[in-house]
Amino acid sequence: MDIKSVGVVGAGQMGNGIAHVMALAGYEVKLNDISQDALDAAMARIEKNMARQVSRDQISEDDMTAALARLSPTQDLPALGGVDLIIESATEREEVKHKIFDTLAPHLAPHTILTSNTSSISITRLASRTDRPERFMGFHFMNPVPLMQLVELIRGIATDEATYKTCLGIVERLGKTAASSEDFPAFIVNRILIPMINEACYTLYEGVGNVASIDNAMKLGANHPMGPLELADFIGLDTCLAIMNVLHDGLADTKYRPCPLLTKYVEAGWLGRKTERGFYDYRGETPVPTR
């Protein structure tokens, strides 16, 4: 199928990045969010990030101008129904995603492919609530989307080969690399990454090391570009906890039990960079460990 138009649901950190790369690749993009403030912030961020690419000679001024002209923000979710491909990138809560697809259902074109940018939720289960499970799959981008090379493609049990090949072609057109995953909790990247972060939380919780020593140990001892607690703050502690709960519930293995300290930080509203406090306090000139 020849994809020409894309609808992105959710204008947050992931959604605006997806809209950014899709518009640059030549797709007509409708970016949806329930909040006009979120849409305004997303459009400003996309323009700022594209301007940075221009300054680094990664794209031309003409590329930027053309891409921005292909972007249309809207609060009207049903307006996305006529596009060729929809990428849902709302909050990582299954009931929210079901509600989005239920709202879209009466307005979808017969050929529209539905996808979710979920980082952990069952694609088969999401697809089963729609009228087109064969044209539904997981389309999981990494953050930050314009910089990260990988896209996980996740087939549900009913996803047909034509849908998979269409999405694979989009990934290639974006200049990114696809990794195909089976539909099991957290897929590939987060099945490995988030338990590592959870184990770093346990290491902190049990007093084995403080925030600085844990992050420095992994940066200097394992050559990771970011320490696991710094990375957790970047991802969002609420997202990390949600993925651990999906793993724990979906696989019923005690090794995926979320660390109580991670839960406590989320309960406190200390979610990382987006709230200016997490394992680090970001309210000053430089981040300061909170433990």
145 shares its domain with 265: no
13 labeled binding residue: yes
33 labeled binding residue: yes
Instruction: State the pLDDT at residue 72.
Output: 97
Strand 288-289 to strand 280-281: parallel, antiparallel, or no bridges (unpaired)? antiparallel
Q: Is residue 261's pLDDT more than 90?
A: yes
170 shares its domain with 282: no
48 shares its domain with 164: yes
DSSP calls for 201-264: HHHHHTTSS-HHHHHHHHHHHS--SS-HHHHHHHH-HHHHHHHHHHHHHHH--GGGPPPHHHHH
**From 88, 89, 152, 230, active-site residue:** 152
Mean pLDDT of 23-44: 97
- The DSSP call for residue 269 is T
CA separation for the pair 282, 280 (Å, rounded): 6
Instruction: State the pLDDT at residue 281.
Output: 98
274 labeled binding residue: yes
216 is known as an active-site residue: no
**From 16, 32, 120, 140, active-site residue:** 140
DSSP-based three-state secondary structure for 174? coil
Instruction: State the pLDDT at residue 120.
Output: 85
pLDDT bin (cut points 50, 70, 90) of residue 223 is very high
160 shares its domain with 207: no
5 is known as an active-site residue: no
pLDDT bin (cut points 50, 70, 90) of residue 177 is very high
Mean pLDDT of 3-22: 96
176 labeled binding residue: no
285 is known as an active-site residue: no
Q: Is residue 238's pLDDT more than 90?
A: yes
Instruction: State the pLDDT at residue 119.
Output: 87
Strand partners, 251: none
**From 119, 120, 181, 198, active-site residue:** 119
10 labeled binding residue: yes
CA separation for the pair 111, 256 (Å, rounded): 39
Strand partners, 29: 6, 71
pLDDT bin (cut points 50, 70, 90) of residue 1 is confident
269 shares its domain with 242: yes
Asked if residues 43 and 20 have their Cβ atoms less than 8 Å apart, the reply is no
152 is known as an active-site residue: yes
CATH code where residue 27 lies: 3.40.50.720
204 shares its domain with 274: yes
Q: Is residue 208's pLDDT more than 90?
A: yes
pLDDT bin (cut points 50, 70, 90) of residue 263 is very high
Q: Is residue 92's pLDDT more than 90?
A: no
CA separation for the pair 74, 219 (Å, rounded): 41
Burial of residue 253, with CB atoms counted within 10 A of its CB: 0-12 exposed, 13-18 middle, 19 or more buried: exposed
DSSP-based three-state secondary structure for 148? coil
> How many domains in the chain?
2
* Residue whose token pair is 């709302």: 90
CA separation for the pair 233, 279 (Å, rounded): 7
pLDDT digits (tens, 9 = 90+) for 126-156: 999 999 999 999 999 998 999 999 999 999 9
**From 16, 122, 181, 190, active-site residue:** 190
209 labeled binding residue: no
Mean pLDDT of 211-226: 98
Query: What does the mean pLDDT of the chain come to?
Result: 96
Instruction: State the pLDDT at residue 25.
Output: 97
pLDDT digits (tens, 9 = 90+) for 62-85: 999 999 999 999 999 999 999 999
Asked if residues 113 and 163 have their Cβ atoms less than 8 Å apart, the reply is yes
Reading the block at residue 147, the tokens are: 């910089």
Strand partners, 265: none
Asked if residues 183 and 136 have their Cβ atoms less than 8 Å apart, the reply is no
196 shares its domain with 166: no
Mean pLDDT of 213-228: 98
97 labeled binding residue: yes
18 shares its domain with 115: yes
pTM of the model: 0.89
- High-pLDDT (> 90) share of the chain, %: 96
Query: 132, 147, 182: which is the final residue of a domain?
Result: 182
pLDDT digits (tens, 9 = 90+) for 104-122: 999 999 999 999 999 889 9
15 labeled binding residue: yes
Residue 12: give the domain boundaries: 5-182
Q: Residues, the chain, total?
A: 291
Quick one: how many helices (H) and strands (E) in the chain? 11, 10
Cis peptide before 144 (omega within 30 of 0): yes
